[in-house]
Amino acid sequence: MEFVTHVRKERWATVAGYVLFVALMVAGYYYNITFVQLGLIDLGTRLVGMSETAVSMWLAALALATLVVAVATGVTMDRRGWSTDLRTKFRLLFGVVCVQFALTLVAPTVRTVPGFGAWIVLASVGLGVGFPVSFSLATDLVPVPDRGYVAAAITAIAYFAANAIPLSWSVDVFSQVLVAAMAPGVLVLAVLSFASFDRLDAVLDALGTQHETYGTGRFCHGAPVRARSLAFAVPVALMFGVFFVDSLGFLRIIDTPSLLLSSWQSPDLSTRLFIAVAHVVGAVMAGVIYANYSLSRVFLWTFALFALTHVMYTSDLRFADVFPAIAGGGTSPLNPALYAIAVSFYTTLNFALWPDLATPETIGTHSAIGIGVAGWLATFSSTALALYFQAADLTLLTHLNVVQALSLLLLFGLAVGLYARRMVELARENGGASV
Amino acid sequence: MSPTEAIPLLIVVLLMISIGGGDVQELSVTFQGDKDVDSLADVHVVAGGTTTVPGDATVDGDIYVIGGTASIAGTVDGDVTLLNGNLSVVDGATVTGTLQTYSGSATVSSVASVGRVSQFETPTPSSSPAQRVGGFLLQFLVLGAFGWWLVERYPLVIENVGTAITEHALVSGVVGSLGATALLVLFVYMAFTLILLPLAIVGLFAELLIVLYGQAVFGYLVGTRLPIERDGVATLAGIAAFLLALELSGLVPFLGGAVQLAVAVVGFGAVVNTYFGLQRFEPVTIPGGTEP
């Protein structure tokens, strides 16, 4: 790990870059998985009085609008050279955090549907500008060999905090906690964006030139990776699949009180801690595998874990279906723990992958398309499908059965795809069959 | 009892039924509530609640108790097996077959009529020093013979696995824990399909063999650090020292168990990563760093 070398050689500017990146990404991701994913549902249903279906439609709209804003931001960043200007990125990020700070502060006061809609539109602008800018900081702050480990640290800290700290899933609570947490962040970003004194300038100058050394991603050495090339499109499609499967399954799990109260919202702290630790273990494992194996192997593990998780969930449900009396006996924390490991796996991959598929000149566009299509579009589509399932009155088992089928299909498809690619390589190498 | 808790014991029941070889057409399970039975399926499993065979009833079939309580006052024309939970055979009751107790609480009246009573004694490591020494020697003989053969015939193979352990312990540990856990779950669920039961048994046995392979390689690594010239002898001595250290570590609460688990998963991962030693494990090279 290069981080240890930098500490040993007292390259404190570089070390500060690692810490800053992890802190920013943890804060952003924690905000996303708590306030955006959970707080808005509470805001829409409880305070505004909308139906769950209506809120889900608004959230799908948020995902789609965020994708559009992100792609526009990413392309603009690359074309105007903002992707290689550290100070500009900090200023953009400062603007985003200010907007989100204000939105978070006023969220609990929203009471009308138009107000909720306006909040969603403004939030999508903040999120859409925020994630390509924050991901692009990886090219300045994180050396390529350490991106897997840094991604693991971000995932582990964010998920551990989200699961271990017992917050009620209410927009008021999230708002209070996040406003308090964001206030010092706003201050730090203001200093990084606008202040100028010798020591700070020296650190920022050092960090600002690091993209010349660390900027070219792991998969961009040799042939350049373009947004329209297969080398970029295939990971986007695979990540879309992972996000889609996760979101489709999780939407139904959190809608099922018996599953939710025995796992992520268990009143028992030890259960939540167990899940939090599983997230950390999954993230560390993913970081190690990302740093030591090819990308295809990481995807294979991710798909295998998701397939296994859903096989376990559906097996339990089938079992309870055959023996209904057992259904009231509670559920084991093993299934959510395995789910947590699978989620940490692909989240780690998501944090490392897009900077590694880009250069300082393309990071804005690539991270916007990557996360926008794989993350936000997948969330939009899975929410739409989940709503359709809800309208069709699908049972929990049938719903998760579809998710299981998709996860198995992804695993099988990837295995076949890799095998076929190897066959094509062999055919090209040998010009046909050889003995 | 949750599905996750019930499934393993039900699988054990299914395994016992399949090993027994009887012609089972129907299986029933009780999970909760009080129930008096006048007739039984070929096999009845008590997983919860209380199931009673009344004094005036004669039922034909086998009973397995994996949770809850089974009370026999009448006649059971078959075997009764207790794996967990409570079993009582009261005065005047009859069990024509074998009453087998593995775990749980059994109360059998002295005036009840039971064909044969059998109690499974769990072999506890501390029950007999001779047993422990015997077990240790058997493990040493098997691993020693395997290690000796490997070092003498295929030294590169064992060296490859050893290098994966010493130079890539973290990667081996991660792959070992992920792979072993995933395969374990997979085999358990395969067993539950019954059709894939033989494959699941073979798979679980193969997992055990891989762990043993890893242990032999750990012994080989210890042997390379001993002042013994002949590789085969050094490996034998190393395996003996390693097994002894592993056995002694088990005496330390928690930490000993953690060490044993870590050794098992690192060994497992190293064997898998090197294709059983056929290929040296080399992690991918990531370009773009500042260090050579």
CATH code of the domain containing A319:
1.20.1250.20
Same domain, B182 and B247: yes
Given B90, B119, B148, the domain boundary residue is: B119
What is the dihedral angle through the alpha carbons of A29, A34, A38, A44, rounded to the nearest 10 degrees? -90
Q: Is A40 left (phi over 0), alpha (psi -120 to 50) or beta?
A: alpha
Contact list, A294 vs chain B (CB under 8 Å)? 284
Taking CA atoms, what residue in A is nearest to B5? A332
- Name the pLDDT band for B1 (thresholds 50, 70, 90): low
Query: For residue A330, is it within any domain?
Result: yes
Q: Which of A213, A315, A345 best tests the B interface by mutation, with the highest count of B CBs <10 A? A: A315
Same domain, B91 and B32: yes
Cβ–Cβ of B4/A331 closer than 8 Å?
yes
Contact list, A311 vs chain B (CB under 8 Å)? 189
- Option in A289, A311, A329 nearest B1 (CB): A329
Asked if the C-beta of B285 comes within 8 angstroms of chain A's C-beta atoms, the answer is: no
- Start-to-end CA distance of chain B, whole Å, equals 56
C-alpha span between B202 and B212 (Å, rounded): 15
| Residues 6 or more apart whose Cβ sits within 8 Å of residue B202 | none
Buried b (16+ CB within 10 A) or exposed e, B158-173: bbbbbbbbeebeebbb
Phi, psi (degrees; rounded to nearest 5) at B51 = -110, 125
Cβ–Cβ of A145/B289 closer than 8 Å?
yes
Same domain, B47 and B154: no
- Option in A2, A325, A330 nearest B289 (CB): A2
Helix pair angle (B3-20, A295-322), 10° resolution: 80
Weakest-pLDDT range from A215-229, A274-288, B160-174, B265-279: A215-229
The mean per-residue pLDDT over the stretch A178-183 comes to 90
Cβ–Cβ of A143/B289 closer than 8 Å?
yes
The alpha helices in A195-294, defined as continuous H runs, are 198-209, 211-214, 230-253, 257-260, 269-292
Asked if the C-beta of B48 comes within 8 angstroms of chain A's C-beta atoms, the answer is: yes
Nearest CA to A371 out of A131, A147, A83 is that of A131
Contact list, A329 vs chain B (CB under 8 Å)? 1-3, 6, 31, 48
Q: Which amino acid is at B197?
A: L
- Option in B48, B175, B288 nearest A145 (CB): B288
Q: Return the DSSP state at A373.
A: I
Tell me the residue range of the domain where A126 lies: 2-427
Measured in angstroms, the CA of B288 and the nearest CA of chain A are apart by 6
Q: Return the DSSP state at A255.
A: T
Identify the residue whose tokens are 């961009």: A220
C-alpha span between B168 and B117 (Å, rounded): 53
Q: Is A417 left (phi over 0), alpha (psi -120 to 50) or beta?
A: alpha
The mean per-residue pLDDT over the stretch A160-185 comes to 86
**Is the ipTM above a cut-off of 0.90?**
no
Encoded tokens for B28: 């029933």
Measured in angstroms, the CA of B209 and the nearest CA of chain A are apart by 23
Contact list, B171 vs chain A (CB under 8 Å)? 288-289, 292
Taking CA atoms, what residue in A is nearest to B186? A308
**pLDDT for residue B266 is more than 90:** yes
A336 or A435, greater pLDDT: A336
C-alpha span between A190 and A171 (Å, rounded): 27
C-alpha span between A277 and A160 (Å, rounded): 7
Longest dimension (CA), chain B: 85
Tell me the residue range of the domain where B59 lies: 3-13+24-119
**pLDDT for residue A386 is more than 90:** no
The tens digit of pLDDT for each residue in B214-234 reads 999 999 999 999 988 888 899
The tens digit of pLDDT for each residue in A236-270 reads 999 999 888 888 888 788 777 777 777 777 777 88
Cβ–Cβ of B31/A329 closer than 8 Å?
yes
Whole-number pLDDT of residue A262: 72
Taking CA atoms, what residue in B is nearest to A5? B291
Q: Contact, A2 vs A145, CB < 8 A? A: yes
Query: For residue A279, is it within any domain?
Result: yes
What is the dihedral angle through the alpha carbons of B39, B42, B48, B50, rounded to the nearest 10 degrees? 20
Contact list, A332 vs chain B (CB under 8 Å)? 2-5
User: How many other C-beta atoms can be found within 10 angstroms of the C-beta atom of residue B12?
Assistant: 17
Which strands sit side by side in the sheet containing B69-72, from one edge to the other?
Answer: B34-36, B50-53, B69-72, B86-89, B105-108
Cβ–Cβ of B186/A301 closer than 8 Å?
no
Contact list, B46 vs chain A (CB under 8 Å)? none
- Name the pLDDT band for A150 (thresholds 50, 70, 90): very high
- Name the pLDDT band for B25 (thresholds 50, 70, 90): confident
Cβ–Cβ of B189/A315 closer than 8 Å?
yes
Q: Which amino acid is at A4?
A: V
Same domain, B166 and B107: no
Contact list, A218 vs chain B (CB under 8 Å)? 286-288
Same domain, B56 and B146: no
SS (H, E, C) chain B: CCHHHHHHHHHHHHHHHHHHCCCCCCEEEECCCEEECCCCCCEEEECCCEEEECCCCEEECEEEECCCEEEECCEEECCEEECCCEEEECCCCEEEEEEEECCCEEEECCCCEEEEEEECCCCCCCCCHHHHHHHHHHHHHHHHHHHHHHHHHCHHHHHHHHHHHHHCHHHHHHHHHHHHHHHHHHHHHHHHCCCCHHHHHHHHHHHHHHHHHHHHHHHHHHHHCCCCCCHHHHHHHHHHHHHHHHHHHCCCCCHHHHHHHHHHHHHHHHHHHCCCCCCCCCCCCCCCCCCC
Q: Contact, A23 vs A35, CB < 8 A? A: no
**pLDDT for residue B48 is more than 50:** yes
Cβ–Cβ of B182/A316 closer than 8 Å?
no
- Option in B1, B32, B284 nearest A293 (CB): B284
Same domain, B101 and B161: no
Cβ–Cβ of B189/A284 closer than 8 Å?
no
Contact list, A214 vs chain B (CB under 8 Å)? 288, 290
Cβ–Cβ of B31/A144 closer than 8 Å?
no
Encoded tokens for A157: 């800290």
Cβ–Cβ of A216/B291 closer than 8 Å?
no
Q: Which of B178, B188, B193, B194 best tests the A interface by mutation, with the highest count of A CBs <10 A? A: B178
The mean per-residue pLDDT over the stretch A369-374 comes to 91
Cβ–Cβ of A214/B288 closer than 8 Å?
yes
Asked if the C-beta of B196 comes within 8 angstroms of chain A's C-beta atoms, the answer is: no
Encoded tokens for B58: 């004669």
C-alpha span between A226 and A294 (Å, rounded): 20
Longest dimension (CA), chain A: 74
Cβ–Cβ of B2/A319 closer than 8 Å?
no
Whole-number pLDDT of residue B292: 46
Given B69, B93, B119, the domain boundary residue is: B119
Encoded tokens for B194: 């019954």
Burial of B42 (0-12, 13-18, 19+ CB in 10 A): middle
**pLDDT for residue B159 is more than 50:** yes
Nearest CA to B95 out of B53, B67, B65 is that of B53
How many structural domains comprise chain A? 1
Query: For residue A277, is it within any domain?
Result: yes
Whole-number pLDDT of residue A209: 87
Taking CA atoms, what residue in B is nearest to A215? B288
The mean per-residue pLDDT over the stretch B40-54 comes to 84
Query: For residue B288, is it within any domain?
Result: no
C-alpha span between B237 and B230 (Å, rounded): 11
Query: For residue A88, is it within any domain?
Result: yes
Same domain, B141 and B256: yes
**pLDDT for residue A365 is more than 90:** yes
Q: Which amino acid is at B208?
A: L
- Option in B32, B170, B286 nearest A144 (CB): B286
Cβ–Cβ of A143/B31 closer than 8 Å?
no
B59 vs A39, B113, B215, B258, CA distance in Å?
58, 15, 51, 48
Q: How many residues does chain A have?
A: 435
How many structural domains comprise chain B? 2
Whole-number pLDDT of residue B237: 93
Helix pair angle (A113-136, A334-356), 10° resolution: 60
Same domain, B165 and B58: no
Same domain, B184 and B264: yes
**Chain A interface, Cβ < 8 Å to B:** 2, 5, 143-145, 213-214, 216-218, 221, 284-285, 288-289, 291-294, 301, 304-305, 308, 311-312, 315-316, 319-320, 323, 325-326, 328-332, 334-335, 338
Percent of chain B with pLDDT over 70: 90
Weakest-pLDDT range from A5-19, A57-71, A100-114, A394-408: A394-408
Show which of residues 145-174 on chain B sit within 8 Å of chain A, judged by CB atoms.
168, 170-171, 174
**pLDDT for residue B283 is more than 70:** yes
A432 or B79, greater pLDDT: B79
Contact list, B177 vs chain A (CB under 8 Å)? 285
B140 vs A55, A312, B246, B247, CA distance in Å?
65, 38, 12, 12
Same domain, B253 and B133: yes
Taking CA atoms, what residue in B is nearest to A324? B31
Taking CA atoms, what residue in A is nearest to B171? A288
Same domain, B100 and B151: no
A278 or B31, greater pLDDT: A278
Same domain, B105 and B177: no
SS (H, E, C) A418-433: HHHHHHHHHHHHHCCC
Query: For residue A331, is it within any domain?
Result: yes
- Name the pLDDT band for B162 (thresholds 50, 70, 90): very high
